[in-house]
Amino acid sequence: MRSMRTIDAMSNPLLQPFDNLYTSAPFSKIKNEHFMPAFKTAIKEAKEEIDAIVSNPEVPSFSNTLEALEFSGEKLNRISSIFFNLNSAETNDEIQKIAQEVSPLLSEFNNDIRLNEALFKKIETVYQKKDAMDLNTEEMMLLDKNYKAFVRNGAHLNEKDKKELREIDKQKSKLSLKFGENVLAETNNFELHLTDQNDLSGLPEGVVEAAKAQAEEKQKQGWVFTLDYPSYIPFMTYSNHRELREKMAKAFGSRGMNNNEFDNQKNLLDIVNLRFRRARLLGYESHAHFVLEERMAEEPEKVLSFLDNLLIKAKPAAKKEFEQLEKLAAKDGIDNIQKWDGAYYSEKLKKAIFDLDEEQLKPYFQLENVIQGVFDISQKLYGLSFEETKEVDKYHKDVRTFTVKDGKGDFIALFYADFFPRKGKRNGAWMTSYKGQWKKNKENSRPHVSIVCNFTKPTPTKPSLLTFNEVTTLFHEFGHALHGMLADTKYPNLSGTHVYWDFVELPSQIFENWCYEKKALNLFARHYKTKEVIPMEMVKKIKDSSNFMEGMATLRQLSFAKLDMAFHAKDPGSISNVKDFEKKAFGDTQLYPDVENNCMSTAFSHIFQGGYSSGYYSYKWAEVLDADAFEAFKENGIFDKKTALKFKENILSKGGTEKPMDLYVKFRGKEPTSDALLKRAGLLN
């Protein structure tokens, strides 16, 4: 008779081989109760694999130590990717509870590896003789990365300090999860319920229709607006009712700052202090010094200098733009423009200067057509084809799945796309993966890549019509997806987007450039009713307006990057009031009057839940790279095959197998300068 444990393992789909198409995840079979037993079993198996490496009596070698370690824990990695992706895209109270339980277990497991003295000695033995070994570039990078990872995670610490580090990591993982849960709860808990038609003044028909559908979903009369981006942003852009814009803006700006059960002030202070303690324990001056050691920027001083140089260029332009908004608002009797006036008067000014209205553009950007557009552009550049499949299991009915093949018809990747907001999904847009890429036993195991967005939903009378900002967002995330899909390396932890954080945005941001090119727009920008290609005058307006309010937009990005560095480049122990600290950090970049009960930090998920701590600057850093890189496409033609092949072979397929600047120079022939970015942004004097 089988034991109960064996039966549980046999009936748990996460612990069985995935026999779906392309070994895709069996979402429909997975239940919440499967996760915890699966994690525990997979952690146990992964530990056994580590023990086998440690107890191997042979002399430590690259093969029996580094490669063995690299390919260990495959089942655990797969289960983790499924679970944590669901926690972001399709979560519920039960999943969030499991996340709080499992995160400390995973932190403990990772520390069991990184603080395993016997394992580190084997790695160190191989590392010390690396120059005498015949290792290629990728193998050398794997060895170097692993050795540094162990040292940077406490391999040289004494037992007392190792114990403290373990405790810090446990607490950090739980607090970051809690931070994200609180932001999601605050986002979901607010709604603006309107029943008077007059309150809809200024709002486009599609926005009103979506709000009506939202109300019906909640079984309410009238219209419901939420803090989800497809609802919030159009409301702030078009509503003629200033007091309602103020109400929405204050609700959005106070998330995590309401002194309630979802308050994030203490959470974020605990997180930054734990990060600082951890960095000091490992011998670093601050968390930023620790993080930036493994970035292109290398050190906080270089980041701050980079941000300050951009600030010098952007601030005069931003001030002029702000004055234009003030003048326009003054015509409506507003003598003190506020944050909730910004998007509204920017849109009015844009229409006045360029005769361009976002609502005029939307009919040309039906989601289906834009998706086909990114597919067609990828085909022209990289020879990829995309075919929708119904044979792949999905975690939600809205998700779409595609098989990706190359010009020879060989399978390249599985692609998941999840486009619309819902209750269990966090705000924003991101790319992720359910399975990485690697080469083993003569097999090139291909990736399963996903993009998750929050776009305008279809209504009863209209398909999903995207704003131009949503179009660029889709291109951005698809650029990340291409980085994952076209990965072609041996080792999973050097594959695809496993690159330095300030390099990872290059593939995403460069892909946005095609949104502004007539030849690219002609492929997909067609009126959803008439099928007419977007008129040339509209393309010109899009191009001409691409730098609109660029000074203020740059200032905004710099303010976030400076706030990030303020939290992480020094000892945060003296921070007692989050709001006051934020105000000081925003000092040089502040244009609008401060709003008393609002605080950006308490909902700054990028740095307190995501992986951008001490790394928010990387968006602007990567813009320098992408502007310079796209110059090569403009010089040779935006669909030039040779340029695309060069970009694919030196950037997209290489992952983290070489230093980013080396890869960039191989593509471009030189290091980048900020001139191309400043020129594109209209900030070059």
Catalytic annotation, residues: 477
Cβ 222 vs Cβ 215: under 8 Å: yes
348: enclosing H helix or E strand: helix 339-354
Cα gap 435→450, rounded to integer Å: 10
Largest CA distance in the chain: 84
Q: How far apart are CA 622 and CA 355, in angstroms?
A: 31
Task: Count CB neighbours of 356 within 10 A.
Answer: 20
Nearest CA to 548 out of 325, 359, 330 is that of 325
CA–CA gap between residue 488 and residue 445 (Å, rounded)? 9
Backbone φ and ψ of 125, nearest 5°: -60, -45
Residues sharing a CB contact under 8 Å with residue 291, sequence separation 6 or more, in sequence order: 501, 568, 613, 614, 615
Phi-psi region of 355 (alpha: psi -120 to 50; beta: other; left: phi over 0): left
**In the β-sheet with 411-418, what is the strand arrangement from edge to edge?**
385-388, 400-405, 411-418, 448-452, 430-435
Report the first-to-last Cα separation within the chain, whole angstroms: 81
Helices (H), 190-299: 205-217, 229-238, 242-253, 265-281, 287-292
Among 7, 30, 12, smallest CA distance to 83 is for 30
Hey, what's the torsion of the CAs at 594, 595, 597, 603, to 10 degrees?
Answer: -80
Taking the C-alpha atoms of residue 583 and residue 601, their distance in angstroms, rounded to an integer, is: 10
User: What SS3 class is residue 86?
Assistant: helix
Token pair belonging to 124: 């160190």
Torsion-angle region of residue 488: left (phi > 0), alpha (psi -120 to 50) or beta? beta
Pairing of strands 385-388, 400-405: antiparallel
What radius of gyration, in Å, describes the C-alpha atoms of the chain?
25
Closest CA to 452 of 28, 87, 93, 20: 87
Sign of CA dihedral 611, 560, 318, 685: negative
The two tokens of residue 341 are 């006036």
The per-residue DSSP string of 594-663 comes to: P-TT--SGGG-HHHHTSS-TTTTTHHHHHHHHHHHHHHHHHHH-TT-HHHHHHHIIIIITTTTSS-HHHH
Query: Could you tell me if residue 259 is left (phi over 0), alpha (psi between -120 and 50 degrees) or otherwise beta?
Result: left
